Structure 1
Amino acid sequence: MKTLNYIRMGLLCILGSYYLTWRIDEITLDTWFQKIFVFIYFLLILLFFWLLRHRYLKLPPITIQEKVAKNLVSILITVVFVTVGFDAFVGWRYDPISISITALGKTGEIHVGQKGTEVWITEIKIDGQKYDLSKVPLAPEWEYRDNANLLSYQNQPSTIAFELPGARNTEIDFLSHPWSGEVLVKSNQKNQKIDLYRTEDKESSNVTFSLPGERGVSFIWDWIARIGCFILLLDIINTAICFLIWRKSIKTENSSTSSLSPPRNYQLLYILAVCMGIAFLIFRHTSIELYSKAYFALLCGAFSVLLILTGVAYFAVLKEHNVQRYNMRAFVIAIILSVFVVFLLVNNLYNLEFHPTFTAIFYLQSSLLFSLCTLTLYLSFHIMPSSLLGVMVPPFLLSIVLPLSGWLRSWTTGSLFLVTSFLFFILFFAIYVLRQKFDFKYSKIEKAVSRVKILFFVCITFFTVFLWSYNKIVLSPNKIQGGISIIGFLGISMVYAAAFGISILTLLQLFKNKISKKWITTRTIRIQKNELKVFPILLIFMILYWLIWLVAYYPANMSPDSVDQWGQAIGVSPLLDAHPIFSTLWIRMCSLLWQSPAMVILVQIISTAVILAYILNYFSLWNFNKKVLLVLGCAVALLPNSSIYVVTQWKDVVFLLALLVLAYLMQKIFMDKKIGALENIALVIALSGVSLLRHNGFLIALICGLILLIVALKKRLFYSVVSIILAATFVFLFNGPIYKALNVKHYGIGLAGTVTDCVGYTIYYDGEIPEDILEEATQTATVDFWKAQFAPFLAFDYIYNGEHNLSSIYAGKSSAEQIGIILRLFLRNPDIIFYERMAMNDTNLFINQSEAQGSLNSRYQKDIYENDFGFAHKDTTLKTLLDKFLSATSWQNPFWDSFLWRNGVMICVAAWVIYFNFTQKRWTRNIIFLPMIINFLTLFIALVEQSYRFTHNIVPYLLIAILFAVMPDEADEQTNMVFERKHKSKKQVRV
């Protein structure tokens, strides 16, 4: 029976892989190598899918009749799918179409008032997809004009003939205007004359010539593909039905020990919350200006508080009714939704301009908001005390009445300020409820807002506001005016920052409680045969998924820096220290196996997958839910920023990978008594890589290395001490004898760009400049020239382009001299230099949630810079789809752009994680943030251009820091627990 199952599995995977390859081959694949690669790729994916299903989807015992019914339903659904979506799933094979188009000229019909006999072919569509007209071979008297349109206008009649791929429908668009003549179109199927002339009183338009496709002969390979499609769909649908049966069996088991549903009033409560959410989505995708963007932001904030309250209520009642299956999930979902709504708020509030007009809808929505909040509190806690009404009603009424009475000049700013107070009271009442209703280890959350730690809480809140609002207040060309407006804006920001922080702290505490409880009840590991293996599953998934991106962007994404460094790596160009030499040698080492950037990317993909899978697998030893770890790892891999950077040849990718390993190992050394031999080797590589892969890495490695050395000596970690010394020795040798032996030419300019920009800002804003610095700056350029070249957010052009290369003035100076100039300017003009660093693109990228107007954020590299090596991308359908995916999740969508391609929200979350560790009295768990903080500080001082690549790995970095934060306390108290557990598990297996 098992052999038959394996044979069935093999046939299913082979036929399914053949069908998928056959389907892609019609659009994308060009060579047999690509076809074989894609076939093997799909074969591995389907095998992986089948093994997971066979191993983990265990169905309860069912009768033969039930099996037959299940299979019949699967077949019926599959037949319906294939029949209805035949063209989408399989489609017919169509013969290529031979077309000839003749511009008849004066031999055709001529109209009175006709000004010419031109024939313009503006567009060809094949099954709705545009066909590249540049692929049409030119004929005599035909030419390309205006965005590669085809034109015939002289020496007519003139004919152009070409062949188009087979398709269900082909359309050819001709331009029709007063200068157009008659055209004859011939194809395999029909011939037709089309008069393109259009009188002057009518606007120009297009005339479409349509050709239905002719079905070709279906070969045996086509029928095999169709059979493969049917079998693959049948297996997927059968798996879905099996999953539903499995879930139903679990629910049946759980229902015997728990209540079936919560009371009706809580169902009503969530119906109201869902209706409110739908209203927000409607407003989000309509013309919000009519209702005021500012008030929309306020509603989002109130809705987040509403979700917190409803989550608290739902959790409390489910706990009382012992509905164990829902309690934690409902509360966590409510908190996550509130955090998401705060993200939505940030995207709207900090991009709006303060010129909205409030209408009567303001009153309607305000009344609805007030009613929902009041009803929520009543349904949740069955109280409606006069004190609660006294807290909520006055600010609500004042926010409406005072602006109308004329007490405040601006309706907008007055309402913003006063409604803020209304939300403040709701927020702090929610905190009060949190403290009163929960009796399970919530003392630490109480301490988060207690008198002892309140100062730290306020500081983090203000820091969050600074990250979110600095751009709006300082960098925006339409700055908020002072007075009530700035107070209202900052007040609202404080409300949302506090709500955001409370949500993050609550989630962290909930997760930690659950993990700690699980750790206490299951201290020993029992190796089970069907236990999920985090490392291999994540490793395979990441490599296979990122290989798709490598196929699309083969051989790699390469910027001008990448092309230049590749030339140095293969010996075409001399070694220059403009790029770190160690990074160039790393590329050279990879290219020894295969002289192609694709080899470098392949090593990057495997290294990234191994490191992330290994680190996430570590947390499974502490009883983290393995399914959750798998979901988190897959989510990180699926992120567009992770995917595009792993297939880009940049030194920053490898550097940040080394930084992540260093941070992980630092945290482990601070928590465990020792680390293993493999991790000590990784420590040598990480310290050396951080120091040598990027110019700012030396300071990071120096500080972290010294701290690690002190801790290792204190804990008597002999092998770790040796590892640190080996790394330091290697860095010393590489920067000394090896560097000289390589005959590296000095080209780097150090901090010259930063110095130039600081001097430029000081001159432009008429700051105080020491005489020697001013004299040096004006040797080759006048003060007027400096001012004329000034361009905020365009420092790179300001420094390197123009009549004079201004940065060359400081390029020859040492780093100490360059830093000295910056410090002297800062001491005399702290406001100007601070503004220069804050307004510069690098800092604007790091700390601001929204992008300042005029700022240029380089998000990613998706092509190959012009080069002499013959590297270029092919415009395949896969690449087009991924390009659309990248643009849809970046500059085309402000929300996803601010969330995925800027660091404001991530740094806010990091700040609250640090605060959480502080309140837990586990300050050592913040060590993981040290390399990241030093990296940010060095970039803050040194950079002169904005590029997300410098910090693109903040998401996996932050994820690992959060996992460390919610580890059980035993991770610190019993420092060698992991090794004891590993030893016990091995003994159990032997027994």
Structure 2
Amino acid sequence: MNRKTSLWLISILASVLSTIALVSLYQKFVETHWVVIGFTFVFFTVIHKLILTSFLNQKNSYIRFTMRPPVLVFLLLFSFILMWSLKTSSGYLAASSWLFAAYVFLISYVTLFVSVAWLLYLLVHHSVSLHWKTVSKWKICVYAIFPILVWSMYLVAYYPGTMTPDSLSHWEQIHTLDFSNWHPVVYTWYILGLTSIWKTPAIVAFSQIVILALFGGYAAYSLEKRGVNSKWVWIGVLLFGLYPLNGIFPIAIWKDIFFSGFIFLFTIFTYNIVSSKGTWLASNWHQLMLGINALAISLMRSNGLPIFVVMAILLLIAYRTYFKRLITTLILVGLAYFLISGPFFNYMDVRATSPNEALSIPTQQFAHIIKEDGELTEEQSSYLDSILPLETWKENYNPYLTDKIKFAGEYDQNVIFDDFGYYLSTWAAVVSNNFGLAVEAYLDQTSIIWQINQPEDGYTSTYARNVYLYNDYDLKTSPLSSTVYQVINDNLVRVEMYLLEVVLRPAVYTAIILLTGVALALKTGVRSLLILLPVLLNSGTMLLATPAQDFRYQFANVLVTFLMAAVVFVKFDSKQKKVQHE
């Protein structure tokens, strides 16, 4: 038996073990369609063959790479988190024999560890050293044309755009001029400004298409300027434009679309800063763009300000040469933010958002502990009952959504904020006495952020495909072309039905961003991790207070994944003379 045949036989055997383990990790093996099992088997047969061949050809290099402490720690942690993210929530493994459960977890972990190690090795050792080149700024617009044309077809299909109750809250305010910051009022004012030109959501949807396409065009321009061949840049632009999620989300009248776009732009700026070794910051124009972008992030969603503050501090530390410029930008953005959110909001009679919105996690933990008859003192029970009757806590608890509790008619948030310190101390005491239940509630509520395998009793709010029917403004979906509508709608329905846990769970994109980001840092230096931070900070802050299982909260991850898929192959030449990045 020759070596090639031996490798294929070993790969087939390893694939059988991996397929049984990973499918069983994800769901019951006997309930899995044979096509899925067959595809998984073929996929891992090929992967194992590639891994074996690569390892045997470069055994010493692989071992040295994997044994590097930072690499080993990352692989151990990342593989474990990935396995946990893929694990079924049905509980059938816990009810199985300990031997079968041990097999599933052990083989799944080993398979993921080996596969991730191989992929990380390839990403680190396959790159191109490039040199800066002159590129016309008009290329930004040229690269934006294709996405604009493709995404406009989604607007044709779902004219005048897609709207949910959150969208209609903004729409109501532009008619009543009774402004509230429950949903960011700056987005309401943006809608108000555009609709003064044309009173239709379509103008807002189209503006979002153009702006996101320009951001994508700027990313493509930045890569070409860094030296990436325009042929590869155009391939990236085509994929970026054709990806279904990039088409359906820009036509939604949600502040999350703009917020995600600005996170994407902040990531591009950070890439330019890191790849130019800081010289990008020397331009006054760049400082202005960075400041405007940071202000938009801070005003567009409640978790935007902490993202900007953390990024500003880290940039100040990493690029001390430009300390004066960065601190000036930081001060001006901070001043503008507090002037707008303070005196100007007061002048415009903007009603403040309820601070209760930030208490989704404690709310869910209280509700879960009450529902499961956890340990509560008489004083704690009485206090929670004064906020909402205990029976209502139980009846209204949904492990993945806080709305039925916080919007219950009997819910009295004044009890919380009359003595917020007492609320926090009660929460800490209840959690410490019911730690297991508190962790369960936390993991359920944040599953949209970290879990690829959607919980069996959970849900994923994906994308809107119509205008919410129950509105007072006679708004309705009126496709401009029934043919375009049929093609696009059928495609989006198929994505939801068959690819939900592949393309509509944010953790998939987060995993790709983390893997490519670590690979980039290993070959270009630790500062490259700054490129990941805007989007990871967004995910991190949502882990502290996510109210629901809405994909739109993490749409930025999709946009940044496209950037990272290109950036990971670009190696910055540390010996190259610093240049001014335009």
TM-aligned CA deviation for residue 921 of structure 1: 6.0
Q: Distance in 1 between matches of 2:67 and 2:146?
A: 45
Residues 764 and 851 of structure 1: is their aligned pair in 2 closer, same or farther, counting only changes over 3 Å? Answer: same
SS at match of 1:489: helix
The equivalences for 1:92-491 within 5 A come to 298-299=15-16, 301=18, 348-355=23-30, 429-430=52-53, 432-436=55-59, 443=61, 446-450=63-67, 452=69, 453-469=71-87, 472=88, 475-481=89-95, 483-491=98-106
Matched with 1:609 is 213
TM-aligned CA deviation for residue 957 of structure 1: 0.6
SS at match of 1:554: coil
The equivalences for 1:705-744 within 5 A come to 705-712=312-319, 714-716=320-322, 718-744=324-350
The equivalences for 1:727-766 within 5 A come to 727-748=333-354, 749-766=356-373
Q: Distance in 1 between matches of 2:68 and 2:580?
A: 37
TM-aligned CA deviation for residue 546 of structure 1: 1.2
Q: Which of 540, 555, 559 lines up with 1:956 in the alignment?
A: 559
Residues 915 and 430 of structure 1: is their aligned pair in 2 closer, same or farther, counting only changes over 3 Å? Answer: farther
Please list the CA deviations of residues 773-808 of structure 1 after superposition, one character each: whole Å capped at 9, or x if unmatched: 42221137543443343343354335434xx54364
Matched with 1:797 is 404
Matched with 1:159 is none
The answer to whether the 8 Å contact 1:674/1:717 transfers is no
Q: Which of 249, 255, 273 lines up with 1:645 in the alignment?
A: 249
TM-aligned CA deviation for residue 938 of structure 1: 1.6
TM-aligned CA deviation for residue 739 of structure 1: 1.4
TM-aligned CA deviation for residue 356 of structure 1: 7.1
Matched with 2:432 is 827
TM-aligned CA deviation for residue 594 of structure 1: 2.2
Q: Which of 531, 534, 545 lines up with 1:931 in the alignment?
A: 534
Matched with 1:897 is 500
The answer to whether the 8 Å contact 1:696/1:935 transfers is yes
SS at match of 2:293: helix
Residues 621 and 301 of structure 1: is their aligned pair in 2 closer, same or farther, counting only changes over 3 Å? Answer: farther
Q: Which amino acid aligns with 1:886?
A: L
The answer to whether the 8 Å contact 2:387/2:413 transfers is no
Matched with 2:156 is 551
Q: Which amino acid aligns with 1:448?
A: F
Residues 794 and 608 of structure 1: is their aligned pair in 2 closer, same or farther, counting only changes over 3 Å? Answer: closer
SS at match of 2:84: helix
Kindly name which structure, 1 or 2, has the bigger radius of gyration based on alpha carbons. 1
| Bigger helix fraction | 2
SS at match of 1:920: helix
Q: Distance in 2 between matches of 1:720 and 1:966?
A: 29
Matched with 1:535 is 140
Q: Distance in 2 between matches of 1:957 and 1:644?
A: 17
Please list the CA deviations of residues 7-26 of structure 1 after superposition, one character each: whole Å capped at 9, or x if unmatched: xxxxxxxxxxxxxxxxxxxx
Residues 459 and 791 of structure 1: is their aligned pair in 2 closer, same or farther, counting only changes over 3 Å? Answer: closer
The answer to whether the 8 Å contact 1:752/1:810 transfers is no
Residues 524 and 883 of structure 1: is their aligned pair in 2 closer, same or farther, counting only changes over 3 Å? Answer: closer
The equivalences for 1:837-916 within 5 A come to 837-840=442-445, 843-865=446-468, 866-875=470-479, 876-890=482-496, 892-893=497-498, 896-916=499-519
TM-aligned CA deviation for residue 678 of structure 1: 3.5
Matched with 1:183 is none
Q: Which amino acid aligns with 1:936?
A: S
Q: Distance in 1 between matches of 2:525 and 2:557?
A: 22
Please list the CA deviations of residues 846-869 of structure 1 after superposition, one character each: whole Å capped at 9, or x if unmatched: 222221112121101111113222
The equivalences for 1:772-787 within 5 A come to 772-779=379-386, 781-787=388-394
Matched with 2:265 is 661
Q: Distance in 2 between matches of 1:432 and 1:615?
A: 35
Q: Distance in 2 between matches of 1:976 and 1:858?
A: 46
SS at match of 2:28: coil
TM-aligned CA deviation for residue 541 of structure 1: 0.4
Residues 779 and 759 of structure 1: is their aligned pair in 2 closer, same or farther, counting only changes over 3 Å? Answer: same
TM-score w.r.t. structure 1 length? 0.52
Q: Which of 156, 163, 179 lines up with 1:575 in the alignment?
A: 179
Matched with 1:968 is 571
Q: Which amino acid aligns with 2:243?
A: L
TM-aligned CA deviation for residue 702 of structure 1: 1.9
Q: Which of 200, 213, 235 lines up with 1:631 in the alignment?
A: 235
Please list the CA deviations of residues 89-131 of structure 1 after superposition, one character each: whole Å capped at 9, or x if unmatched: xxxxxxxxxxxxxxxxxxxxxxxxxxxxxxxxxxxxxxxxxxx
Matched with 2:579 is 977
TM-aligned CA deviation for residue 772 of structure 1: 4.5
Q: Distance in 1 between matches of 2:419 and 2:19?
A: 54
The answer to whether the 8 Å contact 2:85/2:453 transfers is no
Q: Which amino acid aligns with 2:241?
A: A
SS at match of 2:386: coil
Matched with 1:685 is 292
Q: Which amino acid aligns with 2:452?
A: Q
Q: Which amino acid aligns with 1:501?
A: V
Q: Distance in 2 between matches of 1:448 and 1:822?
A: 45
SS at match of 1:944: coil
Q: Distance in 1 between matches of 2:366 and 2:258?
A: 33
Q: Which amino acid aligns with 2:527?
A: T
The answer to whether the 8 Å contact 1:793/1:854 transfers is no
Looking at both structures, which has the greater relative contact order when contacts are Cα pairs under 8 Å and sequence separation is at least 6? Answer: 2
Q: Does 1:493 align with 2:102?
A: no
Q: Distance in 2 between matches of 1:703 and 1:817?
A: 29
Unpaired segments ≥5 residues, structure 1: 1-264, 278-294, 304-344, 377-422, 437-441, 983-991
| Bigger strand fraction | 1
TM-aligned CA deviation for residue 613 of structure 1: 0.8
The answer to whether the 8 Å contact 1:505/1:916 transfers is yes
Residues 774 and 544 of structure 1: is their aligned pair in 2 closer, same or farther, counting only changes over 3 Å? Answer: same
The answer to whether the 8 Å contact 1:556/1:598 transfers is yes
Q: Which amino acid aligns with 1:598?
A: A
SS at match of 2:94: coil
Q: Which amino acid aligns with 2:117?
A: I
The answer to whether the 8 Å contact 1:536/1:613 transfers is yes
The answer to whether the 8 Å contact 1:534/1:630 transfers is no
Q: Distance in 2 between matches of 1:832 and 1:772?
A: 19
The answer to whether the 8 Å contact 2:357/2:547 transfers is no
Q: How many residues align?
A: 563
Residues 555 and 904 of structure 1: is their aligned pair in 2 closer, same or farther, counting only changes over 3 Å? Answer: same
The answer to whether the 8 Å contact 2:364/2:399 transfers is no
Q: Which of 675, 698, 702 lines up with 2:309 in the alignment?
A: 702
TM-score w.r.t. structure 2 length? 0.86
Residues 533 and 607 of structure 1: is their aligned pair in 2 closer, same or farther, counting only changes over 3 Å? Answer: closer
Q: Percent identity?
A: 19
Please list the CA deviations of residues 715-744 of structure 1 after superposition, one character each: whole Å capped at 9, or x if unmatched: 135444433222111101112111111112
Matched with 1:920 is 523
Residues 660 and 818 of structure 1: is their aligned pair in 2 closer, same or farther, counting only changes over 3 Å? Answer: farther
The equivalences for 1:83-98 within 5 A come to none
Q: Which amino acid aligns with 1:586?
A: Y
